[in-house]
Amino acid sequence: MGRSGNLKNAIVAFLVPLPSILFYLYFLDHFHSNSSSLSSLWSWCFHHPLLLANVFFFFNVNVLFWIVGHIQSSNWMIDLYWTVIPVLLIHYYATHPSAQFDGLRSKIVIVLTWVWSIRLTHNYFRREKWQWGAREDWRFADMRLQYGKHWWWISFFSVYFAQQIFLIGICLPLYVVHSVDKPMNIWDLVAAGVCLCGIVIAYFADTQLHNFVTRNTKLKELGKPMVPNLDRGLWQYTRHPNYFGEQLWWWGLVVFAWNLGHGWTFVGSLINSMCLAYVTVLVEQRMLKQEYRAEAYRLYQKTTSVWVPWFRSSAIAVKDKDT
């Protein structure tokens, strides 16, 4: 991608959330200046913060991102905004006129959300070689080939509407934190610890993966054999430590909500975990299709835990059992 294309995508990425942001700022200004005589529209916005968040998502992400994706023939933006939307949502929930919450808990969750977002955003740009929208997710590219001429409408549901279910769902604890005013207790510290562990594990796992891919790329450029599999560092205890860390983050937020009497919000994280389980299958199938690493990866599957870190089984024992 050239410099002009990179700049264009950066500008588009900064402009696309403006409709929701400007509408919400206008609502806040109108509410604070005319709170005693709200019109039916502003009254609805005040009394239904969660529904309003879904309206913003539907029109600003599902519809607008979908249109932009068709114009550019790439659905790259949803990947980037996975790291941004939770930050937008938590500040929306915290500043909504109907919000009520414990100040210290709110600050802790907001800081953690920003740290999570910065880590994931950094990993996105590092992976994409610091370019905006250089490529779309390989799963979307595969589906584009699979559905052909029908992709234009299927993409609305499979790429965007599905993201609304996932993102609004897993961010429900952020809404709960800002809708229940209850003093902090030990469970808040447990939740914060789980979230922080998830962020740290995901950071080191992604860094180790990035270094591995970078080394293999250099070996390929030099015409030397590539290392077939990453099984060092955190990757010797689980085949997907980055996924495990990400799940810890979201389930840590569930502990915050559970502590506030809204344990039902686990549904969002459960759906996300089930989706990630399916993605795990797709990723491993993709690894096995690469001839130079297929044999090594099959042995890796037999000796190493899928998600939850655990000690490796003996490769020798596995080979003896096979024979």
Give me the DSSP letters along 142-195: HHHHHHGGGHHHHHIIIIIIHHHHHHHHHTHHHHHHTT------HHHHHHHHHH
Q: Which residues contact 172 (CB under 8 A, 6 or more apart)?
A: 257, 262, 265, 267, 268
- The dihedral sign for the CA sequence 164, 168, 171, 174: positive
d(CA 168, CA 24): 17
Read off the pTM. Answer: 0.93
Encode the chain (323 residues) as per-residue pLDDT tens digits.
677 888 999 999 999 999 999 999 999 998 888 766 778 999 999 999 999 999 999 999 999 999 999 999 999 999 999 999 999 999 999 999 999 999 999 999 999 999 999 999 999 999 999 999 888 988 898 899 999 999 999 999 999 999 999 999 999 999 999 999 999 999 999 999 999 999 999 999 999 999 999 999 999 999 999 999 999 999 999 999 999 999 999 999 999 999 999 999 999 999 999 999 999 999 999 999 999 999 999 999 999 999 999 999 875 444 544 44
Report the pLDDT value the prediction gives residue 322, as an integer from 0 to 100.
Answer: 47
- Average pLDDT score, the chain: 93
Report the pLDDT value the prediction gives residue 229, as an integer from 0 to 100.
Answer: 94
DSSP helix/strand/coil, 106: helix
**% of residues, the chain, pLDDT over 90:** 88
Closest by alpha carbon to 95, among 174, 183, 18?
A: 174
316 half-sphere exposure, CB direction, 13 A CA radius: 0
Q: What angle do CA 139, 282, 240 make, to 5 degrees?
A: 110
d(CA 185, CA 22): 37
Helices and strands, counts by H and E, the chain: 17, 0
Q: What angle do CA 152, 82, 269 make, to 5 degrees?
A: 105
> Domain boundaries in the chain?
1-177, 185-314
DSSP helix/strand/coil, 265: helix
d(CA 219, CA 42): 60
Instruction: For 105-164, write each residue's pLDDT tens digit.
Output: 999 999 999 999 999 999 999 999 999 988 898 889 889 999 999 999 999 999 999 999
d(CA 36, CA 52): 21
Q: Give Cα 32 to chain centroid, integer Å.
A: 34
